[in-house]
């Protein structure tokens, strides 16, 4: 019996054209981060994070900033 050490790889049956490939990839794009307005100082921040301007999170002062002192 003849034993072959061959690895088999997944090979596509047909070539995907450049247009089809690019049409599929049109949705693979980066989106801008969502921002909300801080209720205390009005600075734009990412949601569910401490405001770097005033140091508040959910109405409580979490970080002391130079402005607060």
- pLDDT exceeds cutoff 70 at 67: no
Task: Render pLDDT for 16-53 as a digit per residue (tens, 0 to 9).
Answer: 999 999 999 999 999 888 999 999 899 999 999 999 88
- pLDDT exceeds cutoff 70 at 13: yes
- pLDDT exceeds cutoff 60 at 68: no
pLDDT computed for residue 1 by the predictor: 64
Q: Who contacts 69 (Cβ-Cβ below 8 Å, separation ≥6)?
A: none
pLDDT computed for residue 20 by the predictor: 94
Strands (E), 1-69: 36-37, 44-45, 56-57, 60-61
């Amino acid at each position: 019996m003849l034993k072959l050490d061959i690895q088999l790889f997944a090979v596509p049956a047909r070539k995907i054209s450049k247009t089809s490939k690019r049409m599929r990839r049109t949705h693979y794009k980066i989106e801008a981060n969502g921002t909300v307005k801080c209720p205390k100082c009005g600075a734009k921040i990412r949601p569910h994070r401490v405001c770097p301007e005033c140091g508040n999170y959910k109405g409580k002062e979490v970080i002391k900033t130079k402005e607060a002192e």
